[in-house]
Structures are given as C-alpha cells and as structure tokens.
Amino acid sequence: MALDFSDDRRMSRQAMKAELLDAETELELARAWRDHRDEAALHRLITAYMRLAISMAGKFRRYGAPMNDLIQEAGLGLMKAAEKFDPDRGVRFSTYAVWWIRASIQDYVMRNWSMVRTGSTSSQKTLFFNLRRVQAKFEREAMARGEELDGHQLRELIAHEVGVSLNDVEMMSGRLAGSDFSLNAMQSSDDDGREWIDVLEDEGMQAEAEIELAHDTGKLRDWLVLAMQSLSERERFIVRERKLRDDPRTLESLGEELGLSKERIRQVEAAAFQKMRRSLESQSKEVHHFLA
C-alpha cells in the first residue's frame, strides 16, 4: 500500500475529511489486516488516523525539520503501529499508534537535527528530548530558593531525574551546547508567552512495553479476583496473608491463629494455589499463555 506524504497541506485537508472509526469498526479492520492481509482494511485504518499523525508531527516543527518530512515519518510510524498492533489485547489502535508515531518522529529528528548526530539508544533519546526542559526546571527551582547550582551539581540532578548516567548527561550537554536556537526563547504571543522548553515532548517507558504492561496488569488483576472467588473463606485468608501482604505472615503464625499445624497450613496453601490455577486456566486461553 502506498501513501503520498509529499504535500503537507493537501495531506492535512484529506486527513480532516477522513472518517472517525468507532471501536468495533476499528477492531474489524485491524483483524482483517492481521489475519487476511486485507490492504483495503489497512488503508482505511491508516487514513482514519492520519489526522493524529499530522497533529503529532506538527509538535516537532520547532526542531527545524521540514513539515513534509515530519509527516512522512509520522505516517511511517502509523503504518508500523498497524503492522504490530494486536487487536485482541483490548487496547484502542489510536492509543497504541501514538507511541509508534512519536518514536518514528523522534528517531528522524535525532538523525537529522543540524547540531546533533547521535545514536538512538533509549538514554540518548530521553536526554535529547528532555535535557533542556529538566535543566530549566532545576534552575528555576534553585533561583526561587535563592541558590545557584554549579554545572556538576546540575548535571547530577538531571541524571537522577531522567534516570540516566552522569556520563550520558555530560556527553549530551556538550553536544547540545551549540544549539541553533535557544529552547528558552519565547513562543509567539499567540501561545501565551510560553518558552519552547515548556512544550517539549516527554518520553517515558517504551511504547509497546508501557501499553502491554498496563493492559496485562489489569487483565491479571481481574483474573486473580475471579480465581480468589473459587476458594473457601479459610483458603482466601491464608493466600492473602501469605502472598498478598507487604509483610507476609509465616506458616507458624497462621497456624497459631487458626489452631492448625504449620504442615496443615502449607497443605491448605498448596491446595488453594492448585484451585486458583485451575480457575485461571478455565477462564481464558490467554491465561495459559501467561502461566506457561
């Protein structure tokens, strides 16, 4: 499937006219592409969300890249999202696609920004898109306290805040020292006088990992609740006290409270786990995948 990203104004007009997909239609299109490689379904899915890609591309114009190129990279990220999207995970495609679009644009900016030719490791990307914003935050806080941070102190604070090594911060600070423009420059008056650093994109956990973690954690929590319902009151009490407390209780302390031996508590606990496993496996094939 070929998409033409050569004219940003024309693409924007077309994107604004595209249909808005409801969740059910989106799911059908995603499954048609995943299961049958239906290019018509893929084209419809991509076209519907090009307005999202174009909107995100516009947020990176401040780095000096041509809008046409940014839209092209956003479109490629959107297509990659469609290729990797699993419609059975219960996540909306738009939510999933945001991360792939951003990652594609950020990779392009890092490869082509005139003053920086760096790799694209996670720490480098995080620093490139966040260093100036975090630095300005610490400088403002220090100024408000009437303090002045030296360069080393500032870089240590940045490293801790962003979660990277001090060496990475020092390296990226040097590469960004000769920036073509100041990120502390004010935007136009139409933007309420904000500085550019106030609107820099933040990068957290990697796209796919964050979406899957949130989804899987919710699923597992629901399955656990149902599995616990299959237990007797005594079994639920033992499982909660042994496995769900921040400070798990010992077999001995539970035995004393319930009037049972340590070995009997262990047996009840083991039997409860077997019940929970059977309950989980009966709920969904997905559970079997998690437990395998």
Asked whether 19 and 48 are in contact (CB, 8 A), the reply is yes
Question: Which structural domain range is residue 76 located in?
Answer: 1-113
Q: What is the pLDDT of residue 108?
A: 83
Within this chain, do residues 17 and 108 fall inside the same structural domain, yes or no?
yes
Percent of residues, the chain, with pLDDT higher than 90: 13
Q: Which residue has the tokens 């990068």?
A: 203
The pLDDT value recorded for residue 162 is 81
Given a cut of 80, whether residue 263 has pLDDT beyond it is yes
CA dist 33 and 41 (Å) reads: 6
**CATH code assigned at 217:** 1.10.10.10
Residues 50, 57: contact at Cβ < 8 Å? Answer: no
Q: Choose one of 113, 141, 165: the last residue of a domain.
A: 113
Same-domain pairing of 166 and 139: yes
Mean pLDDT of 65-90: 88
Query: Which string of b and e fits 249-270 if b means at least 16 CB within 10 Å?
Result: eebeebbeeeebeeeebbebbe
Residue 79: predicted pLDDT? 92
Answer yes or no: is pLDDT of 206 > 80: no
- Name, in order, each residue with C-beta under 8 angstroms of 117's C-beta and a sequence gap of 6 or more: 111
On whether both 139 and 197 belong to a single domain, the answer is: yes
pLDDT average, residue stretch 188-194: 55
Mean pLDDT of the chain: 76
Section 140-157 average pLDDT: 82
Query: Do residues 61 and 9 both lie within one domain?
Result: yes
Instruction: Provide the number of structural domains found in the chain.
Output: 3
Distance CA 181, CA 179 (A): 5
pLDDT at 228: 84
Residue 1's pLDDT band (boundaries 50, 70, 90)?
Answer: very low
Instruction: Answer with the one of 65, 81, 113 that is the final residue of a domain.
Output: 113
Highest averaged pLDDT of the listed ranges 7-11, 165-169, 202-206, 237-241: 237-241
Same domain, 103 and 8: yes
pLDDT at 35 over 70: yes
| 196 lies in the same domain as 213 | no
* pTM assigned to the model: 0.44
First to last CA, the chain: 37
pLDDT of residue 114: 46
Q: Pick from 113, 140, 156: which residue ends a domain?
A: 113
Give the per-residue pLDDT at 156: 87
